[in-house]
Amino acid sequence: MNDLNLWTNELTGNIPTELGSLTNLKWLRLDSNQLTGNIPPALGSLSKLEYLHLNSNQLTGNIPTELGSLSELRKIYLYSNQLTGNIPAELGSLNNLTTLRFDSNQLAGNIPPELGSLSKLVYLDLHYNNLSGNIPTELGSLSTLENLYLFRNQLTGNIPTELGSLNNLIRLRLDNNPDLNEVPAEVVTLCETDNTSCNFN
């Protein structure tokens, strides 16, 4: 089996740990159900997995560090759940990742600087969480990034000048982080280009 698509049903209960034994799985879609409980660390054994869609459920607990072993992963959707804890630094090893969406959860702590190693990342969405601390300067290394959404968190400190190097950026939203400092000139210049739209307030 390469694909398991059970999205948009009325599934309830926990995600079975036994799914971790489906070692040929490339696509796992369990989104838009009523699933509860934790994300099983056993999913980190799905070494061929390219697409993981667990969004729009009622999942709780931490994001397993084991997901950082999914070296073939291209897209990971965990948004619109009730996940807590930190974003694992281990996810910085997902070298093929193009899309990471963890928005609309209850995640806390800092944004891991290791995410700046995701050299193929196009879409990074962490909005509507409880993330705090500084925006990592390492995010300025994401040269392929087109969408960066960090709004509605509790981020503080300076907006990194390095974000001004994101020449492929189409949409930048940092608004509703009341303790972020002024926008640096480098980022202002980027936002004045025709292809980039920015929100800061």
Is the confidence at residue 201, as pLDDT, over 90? no
Q: Return the pLDDT at 159.
A: 97
**How far is it, in rounded angstroms, from Cα 190 to Cα 65?**
34
pLDDT the model gives residue 7: 97
Residue 189 has pLDDT above 90, yes or no: yes
**Cβ neighbours around 16 below 10 Å, total:** 10
Q: In terms of C-beta density within 10 A (0-12 exposed, 13-18 middle, 19 or more buried), how is residue 96 classed?
A: middle
> 125 near 103, Cβ under 8 Å?
yes
pLDDT digits (tens, 9 = 90+) for 46-89: 999 999 999 999 999 999 999 999 999 999 999 999 999 999 99
Query: Is the entire prediction scored with pTM above 0.95?
Result: yes
Using one digit for the tens of pLDDT, what is the confidence trace for 110-148?
999 999 999 999 999 999 999 999 999 999 999 999 999
Who's near 193: CB < 8 A, 6+ residues apart?
none
| Residue 159 near residue 174, CB atoms below 8 Å | yes
Of 65, 58, 115, residue with least CA distance to 83 = 58
Can you tell me the mean pLDDT for 13-24?
Answer: 97
Tell me: pLDDT of 198 over 90. yes
For position 185, what pLDDT does the model report?
96
Domain count, the chain: 1
| pLDDT score at 194 | 86
Query: What is the reported pLDDT for 99?
Result: 98
Q: What is the mean pLDDT of residues 2-26?
A: 97
Average pLDDT, the chain: 97
CATH number at residue 73: 3.80.10.10
Rama region for 133: left / alpha / beta (φ>0; ψ in -120 to 50; rest): left
Range of the domain at 17: 3-199
pLDDT for 1:
81
